[in-house]
Amino acid sequence: MRNQRNKFTLAKGITYLNGAYMSPLLKSVQKAGIDGIRKKGKPFGISSDDFFTEGELLRKQFAGLINQDDAKRVAIIPSASYGLSTAARNIMLEDGQKVIVAAEQFPSNVYPWLRRAAECNARVEIVKPPDTTILRGQKWNDEILASIDRKTRVVAIGHVHWADGTRFDLEAIRKRLDEVNGLLIIDGTQSVGALPFDMQKIRPDALICAGYKWLMGPYSIGLAYFGPHFDDGVPLEENWINRLNSEDFTALVKYEMNYQPGSLRYDVGEHSNFILVPMMIRALEQIRSWTPAAIQGYCKRISGPALDLLRAEGFWIEDEKWRGHHLFGIRLPEEYRLDDVKKAMIKNKISVSYRGSSVRVSPHVYNSEEDFARLVKAFRTVRPSR
């Protein structure tokens, strides 16, 4: 794959290595949004079919991205917290059972479990990373596997850790959960779209993704897969369009107790958003035409030489096997001061994030090898004399 910066409107002179914070919008996605605004300006052009057709296209795009056959298992949600709360509220925990999460996980995938555990007299078990940089990713994964036992009802985790990109071996976690009859709930917000995710291999019970990061969509729309465990569940809200036959606008007050099939009961109210849905569709079309595998390959190629240089200078970056190429932490050598690094990044117009003691770097196809060369140069401007 070649550099795709011309498909975006990133300003010249800015090095944006911060897709994990939020992606920039493709020009084509911006256009879809503007077209959506114009459409609402002339509402006589919006038919009752339009409340459904685009949503169905969006479900299909997301299902295709994650290798899921049945698009009716995809719900349109406004945020990761909405999808994860839906999952948590529909899982019965028995007295003494536990929900396993990784340490310092993003709060949207922690608070719903703390509440649910408190309601059910269950508990949330937090698995910490080992206090070492040697085989850190592998050992953290081993710890998670070792913590799964007969008391485990749920593992709620990401494919990669949002702060430092540590990759969790979801296939191994799934296998272990099968042995104890546990559920696997994935927050795919920091991975799906940029890292291949295969439903057939990972078989999660739910997969929840906010749309504005690696799905490259706008803010306030996301997508979720809910599996058979959730088929008879209760949605967070009772909205009219999720009821069976809601397509018939003349019969809406013949109140209907049944829901639309699959996971459509979990769609957020007003999910037929005429601005956000077309934007999200366009973004997914582009991602699927690039493919997440090619995005990984591209990010690996442009970051590789710079990371080798940084490693040689004492920075620590997780082994490739245990991280994403689209998201990773760069831990500073002891003598560096994080404040100096932050100032250097601002001075050099480099956008990255800071999570704990690491600099979080998250490239995409709009980045280049030169962006990484600029990153290395910026680090060097604050190198303390030895």
Contact residues for ligand PLP, defined by CB under 6 A: 79-81, 106, 108, 158, 162, 187, 189-190, 210
Rg over alpha carbons for the chain, rounded to the nearest Å, is 22
CB 148 within 8 A of CB 173: yes
The smaller minimum CB distance to ligand PLP, of residues 158 and 363, is found at 158
DSSP state at residue 348: T
The smaller minimum CB distance to ligand PLP, of residues 63 and 84, is found at 84
3-state secondary structure of 328: strand
What lies within 8 Å, CB to CB, of 273 at 6+ separation is: 221
Single-letter amino acid code for the residue at 65: L
Cβ at position 24, least distance to ligand PLP in Å: 16
Return the closest-CA partner of residue 328 out of 107, 167, 131: 167
Cβ at position 101, least distance to ligand PLP in Å: 11
The smaller minimum CB distance to ligand PLP, of residues 101 and 378, is found at 101
CA 63 to chain centre: 15
Cβ at position 89, least distance to ligand PLP in Å: 15
Cβ at position 45, least distance to ligand PLP in Å: 31
Determine the Cα–Cα distance for residues 20 and 133; give it in Å rounded to an integer.
Answer: 23
What lies within 8 Å, CB to CB, of 145 at 6+ separation is: 172, 173, 176
Reading the block at residue 152, the tokens are: 């485990």
CB 381 within 8 A of CB 346: no
The smaller minimum CB distance to ligand PLP, of residues 54 and 187, is found at 187
Cβ at position 190, least distance to ligand PLP in Å: 4
Cβ at position 120, least distance to ligand PLP in Å: 22
The smaller minimum CB distance to ligand PLP, of residues 79 and 246, is found at 79
Single-letter amino acid code for the residue at 233: G
The smaller minimum CB distance to ligand PLP, of residues 108 and 260, is found at 108
